[in-house]
Structure 1
Amino acid sequence: MYNQLVNAFIDAQTAAWRSYYALARIEDHTLGAVDPSRRIIRVPTTAATMAELRHVYRALVERIVEKTRRRYATPAAMPAVSRSFVRGLVRIDIERSLREGTVPDFDHLAELLDTQLRRVVAGDGR
């Protein structure tokens, strides 16, 4: 479910880039080619696209953790989850994924986090 969301986002980014690129070509044809910094229609750079994807990956991890914590909250407290716990749990390395062009398995993160917090709440913190 989370992986599907991320893949749909990446598809949307790709489609948007293609559309902006096509519009920039039309602009060049209509108005004459100019330096890209002077274009009316700006095609997103790879750096901008990666920054947007980095934001989505990080925010999604936080939202998965938050949602799972709320699921196992008691009237007294919500279970604590550290970033190192999440990284160690499924070895999600966002920067490596971005460098390698791979998508972290967010569904797997959600499943493992759910299992771990269920154990913690049940008193079996293994």
Structure 2
Amino acid sequence: MDRNKQDVENLKTMWKRDYEQKAHDALKFIKTTIDESVETSGEMVNFYNQLKNGVLLCKLVNALKRGTCTIPETRFASPREGELIKLAIIGMEQLGVTGLFQKDDLVEMKNLTKWLTAICTLQENKN
């Protein structure tokens, strides 16, 4: 098996063992908070697919504090990759969640656990 494939398989195994339930709970928190349909499977690929464009993250931040993360309206093109994630990071920092994550952790699927931790922190701060 090629090294990258082995790394991906190891990551999936670790995710399933350690983070799948937390990811499910985090996506369920987002779904409940924004009152929209969100696939809440805690599988790593689903967690990534739900968050990768930043839309749900911006909606979550706005639901927690109105006007914090305005999604730009564009007529001819969707926001560039990572633009909404940057806005979500700014909004999360305004809500007190700082230093845990970077745009590339999500865009490049490098460290999804940091994003999972950030969402869990938002949930804890809400309660």
TM-score category of the 2 structures, normalised to the smaller one: 0.3 to 0.5
Q: TM-score, normalised by structure 2?
A: 0.32
More helix by share: 1
Structure number with the bigger relative contact order (C-alpha 8 A, sep ≥ 6) is: 1
With the length of structure 1 as denominator, give the TM-score of the two structures. Answer: 0.32
